[in-house]
Structures are given as structure tokens and as C-alpha cells.
Structure 1
Amino acid sequence: MPGSEAVKRTTLRSQIAEALRDEVIAGRLPSGRQFTVKEIAEQYGVSATPVREALLDLCSQGLLDVELHKGYRVREFSHADFRDMIEARTLVVEGMFRRSAEQALAAATPEALASVRRRADEAARAALAGDLDILIGYDLRFWREMAGLVANPYISDFLDRLRVQSWIFTVPLLRRLGDLRGRLWHRHSELAEAIACRDVERAQRIVVAYNRHTLELIDALT
């Protein structure tokens, strides 16, 4: 079928990019780690073209840096970078809530709100259990779906990028604690309930408390 090869390559590209992103977030590809297209292609048993395309996608997301004649390096974020991420995502969420109150939430379907609540409950359970790997996946899905209520893909994509970068910085620090039970933020369900009730002020207060908790925890670890 004409074009089927291009579709297959695009799908492979996205699969490799997603798999590598998960490796970076989880810390299995740690900050500063160098690698080549050939190395990744051999690891996944694929040709170099979709790997190169996937790596460029991750560069555009701010997760990798290109090193001339050396390949790629997992980006290293500083504590100052992390504070800037928190500030940026706070501004995005505040703007999202204002828009949501006026437009999106009033039109949000019961099915969409129910899905956000499910993601919130799953993330909260993982956080309370101290299961960092499970939490990361559910947390990213929760915020992605919640941002999706705004019906603006640019907002959703930008917030997702910020949250991924935040996890990349915090995961190695959090793993030093060992037992994470009771240490991780777990008020996802409260936030989802506030959104479902169109209580934007309450939602904003929860997010402010969340950012304060995160900064205090990370400041203590750095």
C-alpha cells in the first residue's frame, strides 16, 4: 500500500521516543548520559532512521542535547532550572484555571471529568504507597487529561513538557530517600473534585500548596 512504509516508520519513531522518554524520566537513562544513534538502534533492533528522528523529537522537548561528533546527551537540569519550571507551570495552570472557569469546565463532559477523577485516584494511591514509578505514569496522565479539559492542545502539550522535565530533575533526588511513603504529594483527588465542582479558587489553593510542598522537599534534598 502506498505510504504504508512511511506510516510504519512514523509509528516506530513515536514508540522509540516514548520508550526513551520513559527511560529518562525513570532515571534509567540518567542526566549527563551520552549515547549514539547506533547504540539505541542496536538496543531496539531497528534501523537508524526512526531512532534519529525519535532522538530529535526528544531534543525538541528539551530532554536531550545534541553533541557535535559525539551523539546525544541526556540534559542535566539544575536546582535553578527546577525553580523556573515550578514558576512556569504555576503560571500555565493559573491561566488554565481562569480559562476553564469561563469556558472549558462548563462544557466538560461527565465522561471526561470521570476519567480525570480515576487518574487522580490512581495517582493518589501510588503517592501514598510511595511507589514512584507507578506515580509518575498516573501523575502525567492526570495532568494531561486535566489540561485537556481546556481544549487547547498547546496548553496541554506545554504543561506536559514542563512536568516531564520536573520529574527528570526530581526522580534521582527522591530515590535517595528510599521509603517514600508519606513523603510524596497525594492530593490529586482533592484537586479533581475541586475542578469537577467548578471551584477554581479551591483548586488554585491546592496547587499553591502542592508547589510549596514540592519545593520544600526538593530544597531539603539539594
Structure 2
Amino acid sequence: MQHETAEAGRPRAEATGPRVPTARKKGILRDRVRNALRAAVVSGELAPGTVYSAPALAERFGVSATPVREAMIDLIAEGLAVVQPNKGYLVTEVSPKALDEVSELRLLLEPPSVRSAVPRVPEADLPRLRRLAQDIVTAAELGDLVGYIEADRVFHLTLLGYADNGRLLDVVSGLRAQTRLLGLAPLVESGRLVESANEHHHLLDFVESRDAVAAELLMHRHIGHVRTLWAAGS
């Protein structure tokens, strides 16, 4: 016969059984899958005009189909995909004109915001920013385009966060999702993606030296690659 009471000072053990993911864990997984899917669309690993099923995407990213379907709800809202009944999700195409407009808006917003952020970055935060920049370089060295896009997103939004403008972050995050960098694969093959990735360390050199003007100029050139070097792979 089992004891009805627990030992003094210790709670009674709960019945064993399968662990049920908490809402927080489910949310984290959905965020991770959504970010990976978004990065795959931006990098072109999920090709525009192609239909992908939830099971196929789940296998590709090593998760179950449920978080994929949940994440795709967010990407559909962002305009990155549309539902194809009984088939899956169609990755939307973006016209050259739309990409030009996105780049133009980013050039208007991000370089001056980086200039504003530079004097506000605490010295103690620089090592963390260096690690985020190195994540981009590491992904480039591995040829991991999805990892590259996501690491790049995290780095830039973190740096822009020091400008202390939440609405700016929302707008820039949306614009980055609308960008397409279909030329990254050829850059991996040529080894030039690592060179581009190292620009993030050069940017931090200017942040560290508090040279806000130089940081702004480098950021302007960096975004310019979106419609030239990174877009076409030329």
C-alpha cells in the first residue's frame, strides 16, 4: 500500500507520464521555426513561386508539422507566403521594383539610426555585440544561409535597439523580411560571403571608437549590397 503523505518538508511526487510542453516552450519553438522559415525565404533556400507542404518543411527543419503550420500563419501575415488549399504554402515573389523600394527605405532609416545608436552603446555591451557579429561570420564560413540571415537579423536589430525607438525596429524588421538575397549561394561558393560577413566587425570597430559618422557611412554601403552584390551574386 502506498503512503498517502509525503516526507516532511518534501512535496509528494507527481505521477509519472509524458511531459507536456508548456505554453512558453511551444511559443519559443514557434518563434524559432518562424525565424528559420523567414530566413530561408529571404535567402532563397525556399524558392519564390514554389509550393511547400507542412510535412516537407517540418522534415527539412527537423520539427513536427504543427509548429511549421503555426509559424506559417505569421509568415502569411507578413506577406512571405500564401496558402495553397490541399497543397501547402506558396512562397511569394517580389518584383525588382519592390526590392528597390525596400532598399531605398532601409537606406533612409538604418544608417542615421546607427549613427544615433553609436554613442548610446554601453562599453559593457560590446563583447556581446562582437559575439553576435561572429555568429554571422561563422554561418558564412559554414555556408549556412539560413543561419547567416537569422544571425544578421539579430545583430542589426540589436544594434538599432540602442537608438531607443521601438517603432523603428518594427518597421526595419518588416522591411528586412521583404528583402530577397538570392545571390548569397554564389557568394558562398566563391568565398566572398565571409568577406561580406566581416563588415559587421568593421562596423563594431567604429562603434567601439565612437565614430558615429563612419559607422553611418559603412551601414549605407552595407545596405547597398542588398540590391547589388548579395541580390545578384555578381
Q: Please give the TM-score of this superposition, normalised by the length of structure 2.
A: 0.69
Aligned partner of 1:100 in structure 2 is 117
Superposed counterparts of 1:153-192, under 5 Å: 153-166=166-179, 169-171=180-182, 173-176=183-186, 179-182=189-192, 185=196, 186-192=198-204
Deviates more, 1:32-41 or 1:56-65: 32-41
CA contact (8 A) 2:135 2:151 kept: yes
Instruction: Give % identity.
Output: 28
CA contact (8 A) 1:130 1:181 kept: no
Structure 2: runs of 5+ lacking an equivalent: 1-20
User: 2:75 aligned with 1:62, yes or no?
Assistant: no
CA contact (8 A) 1:31 1:74 kept: yes
After superposition, what is the alpha-carbon deviation per residue over 1:97-142, rounded to whole angstroms, capped at 9, x for unaligned? 35436xxx33x32232221223224435655x58352533432222
Deviates more, 1:75-84 or 1:154-163: 154-163
User: 2:35 aligned with 1:18, yes or no?
Assistant: yes
After superposition, what is the alpha-carbon deviation per residue over 1:144-185, rounded to whole angstroms, capped at 9, x for unaligned? 22112223333224323333432xx223x3324662323652
Partner Cα distance (1:119, 1:153) in 2: 20
Aligned partner of 2:228 in structure 1 is 216
Deviates more, 1:31-40 or 1:198-207: 31-40
The structure number with the bigger radius of gyration is 2
Deviation at 1:190, TM superposition (A): 1.6
| Aligned-pair Cα RMSD in Å | 3.6
Partner Cα distance (2:123, 2:217) in 1: 24
Aligned partner of 1:201 in structure 2 is 213
User: 2:161 aligned with 1:151, yes or no?
Assistant: no
Aligned partner of 2:125 in structure 1 is 112
Aligned partner of 2:148 in structure 1 is 135
CA contact (8 A) 1:140 1:164 kept: no
Partner Cα distance (1:6, 1:130) in 2: 33
Q: Secondary structure at the match of 2:189?
A: coil
More helix by share: 1
After superposition, what is the alpha-carbon deviation per residue over 1:25-72, rounded to whole angstroms, capped at 9, x for unaligned? 453422112245676679877575x55442221122232234577653
Deviation at 1:207, TM superposition (A): 1.9
Describe the shift of the 1:12–1:221 C-alpha distance in structure 2 as closer, same or farther (beyond 3 A). Answer: closer
Structure 1: runs of 5+ lacking an equivalent: none
Q: Kindly tell me the number of residue pairs found equivalent between the two proteins.
A: 211
Deviates more, 1:116-125 or 1:200-209: 116-125
Aligned partner of 2:101 in structure 1 is 84
CA contact (8 A) 1:34 1:71 kept: yes
